[in-house]
Structure formats: structure tokens, C-alpha cells
Chain A
Amino acid sequence: MNIKKKITIILFSVITVFSVTATQETKQVEAFSNQVIQQGAVGEDVIELQARLQYLGFYNGKIDGVFGWGTYWALRNFQYEFGLEVDGLAGSTTKQKLAKASQYDEAFIKKQLNAGNDFTYYGGTPKENQVKQDNNKNQGNTNQGKNQNNAATPKKTTNNNNKNQQSTPPKPTAVNVPNGFSQNDIKLMANAVHGEARGESYEGQVAVAAVILNRVESPSFPNTVSGVIFEPRAFTAVADGQIWLTPDDSSKRAVLDAINGWDPTGNAIYYFNPHTATSSWIWSRPQIKQIGKHIFCM
């Protein structure tokens, strides 16, 4: 049994190496799209970049499709070692050099990404040994659920011929987040924005998100996003439970814009709807501007 397994593995890796060397010449043409890839980018090209850098041993992080600092230093080291200009940009020369020096097995990477596996892609080690199989149950389920041709054992799919399958390109498994905020902060804020301003224009939604952030900065309010949002009686949407409605896409984008520096309100820390405001005190605040139904003030 054991010997059989070993033989298959050895046989298999031989086949892989062979088929890879055979296709190498033609593969260069299909490597990457035309864009110059720079830090902050997301997508297929970044996945390929990370995989190729890892293949050569420059990149030790996760292949997740987001060009972060780890990828940046890996790329710079690659450029240095290969005598290229060290600028941290993957331009045409760098991409060509990289494609020549490494191999990229899109089908394998895609399968691992889709299955959510913990995997690496170093050259010279059999790929199937680089997949962590610690959550067997989950994996089995997803494979069955998908029931596609790549639901077979991982050993078969590593073949390069699989490229012929009409398959969707690999998707990044990570996202950019602004410094100082987690995805959950963003979600919480999007919930609040959706509850408070879902009838408003996009600008009005960014404005509400900006007010939340201005309050975090302000000495008269709690210093955290959650503190500001859940401050009792601060937001009507929190008081009546509307905050737990599922936020739409536009409120999420509005929150990102506000975090990235847009503030349509000009540093407002209060806002109110003049038709429904019950407190006379709120009218005494110096007003800045009206956006949609809300008046924003200091």
C-alpha cells in the first residue's frame, strides 16, 4: 500500500516535471496581462505574480491575490537578484524575466484557492505535498458540493493539460483594508450608515459615515467606532434596531470613501432631520450644510 503510494507520487512528479518543461516555451506567451502591476493591486495577475515569486522562493506569504508589503519586498528581491531595476513594479521586463524563470500552474492554484486550502507553491517540491489537509471534512464537503471535474483527487488535477478547461480565473482571497480599520469595523459602520441613510443619495451616505469618524476623533465622543455607534441615543437606527438590516453595497462603498478621507460635511459631528428632530437643542448647533434630508452641524 505504502509503496504503491510512493510510486504513484514519484511517477506523478516525474510526469509533472516533464509536462511542465515541455510546455514551458509556449507558456511564456500567456503569462500575465499587459498591465504594470503595482503595490495595492488586486486580482488574477497578482495571484500569478505571488505564485511565481513563491515558486522561486522569494515570496513566503500567502498567495491571496492582494499586492501587499510581503509581495513588494519579494518582488524587489527578485529584481535585485536578476539584475533588474529595483522599483517594486512588475513591468514588462520584470514580468518576462519572471515568466521565464518560473512556472505557473493556474489550475492547481485556482483549485486550492477555491477550496480555501492552506497551501504553498514552491518550485522543486511536489505540489500535493504543499497542501495542508487539516480540515478534511470541510474540503470533502466543498468538493462534493461543487461536483466539478476538479473534484477528483488532487493528484490528477496538477496536470498542466487542465488549462484547457473553460474555467473562471482564480479570485483573490483577501481584500485591501485601510490602515487602522478592520473589515468588521467597516461592516459595522456600513450597517449604521445603511440604517441611518438608506434613502439618501450616495453623498449623504458618505456624509453619515464621515460624521461617525469625526466623532471618533472628537474629544467629546467615545474613541472607537463601536463606542460611537452604540452610544445610547446617539443614532435612531441603533435605538430602533434598523442597524441590523443587511447593508447594501453602496453603504459599504460610502464607508470606504469616508475612511479614505472624503468628508462631504466639512467636519460635522452632528446631523439631524429637520422634519423629525424633537430636540430644540440640536437647532442651536452651528450648521454647516444640508445634504438630502439631513442638516449637518458642529
Chain B
Amino acid sequence: MSALHTKPAIAAAVLASLLFSSSGAAQQVNAYAAKAKVEPPAEKAPRVQIARGPELESADENSATIRWTSNNPGGSDEHFGVVHYGTSPNELNQTAKSHIRLNQNHPDTTFRVSVERLAPRTTYYYTVDSMQASGASDKVKSAVGKFTTPGPGERVMNFPQPK
């Protein structure tokens, strides 16, 4: 089907499109098939800002979930929330990241990151960022936050299911 730019070919194409549209109703399902494809990435937000958080969603003796909401960063739908953390505010030398999928139709995005293998009854300091699938940072600025893990068998839940 290499394109032949001759008048008869164009005329045939017009004729074909007319024929196709006249049988469009019968071809409803196949029309969907022809278009089935993966969405392209959204336009990247010029500046990604945090609107709420970051804050502790929940914690038990050896894990925590950090949560924040930013404007929709755009870019690849496959996205990662990133938490840099440590036991000293000056040494945030560990990193946790969790996958989320952006909703291109939403004005904002909630990130939630699991931080694992923590010690009980220990205070951790952290900052957050987010990144595209490629690893490119969204360059989010967050203040240094902190949380303390509870003791064995205890659990902190700051975002319970609403009634």
C-alpha cells in the first residue's frame, strides 16, 4: 500500500472513504479496534508544587507510608513517589520509592510511598520528590518532615476510612 500520488489514486481514496462512512454503523465495533492504542504522555507541568503534606499516613513498628498531594506533574503516566529519609535531618541518605499511575484528567495527584525496614520507636526525618518513569525528577521542593514509628504491635493511622 505504498502511496501513489496520482489523481486516480486520490479519487479512489475519496471513493473508499465514502464507502466506508456509508457502512459506518455496521462497523461500530471495528472502528474502536482501529483506534485502540496506548495514550501518549501528558504535557509536563512547568512547576510541580505540593498542595498538601507531605505527612505520615500510617506507621507500624517497621514501616510507614508518607503521603502528599501536588498539582498533576504530567509527563509519563507511570510515575514514582520518592522519599529521602534518615534518622538525622542532616543525613537523609536512604531512599524509598513507590509506583503510582497519574490520571491525566485530574488537576492534582496524591503520592503515597511505602518506607520499609524501619526500627520501632525511632524518629525519622524525610523530604519528598516525585519522578517520571525515566527517573527524571519533578523537582518538587518539600520541607524536612519527621515521624516516629510506634512500638511492636502498635499502629498509627492518620488517614482512617471516613465514615
Q: Do A and B bind each other?
A: no
| B residues with CB within 8 A of A | none
| A residues with CB within 8 A of B | none
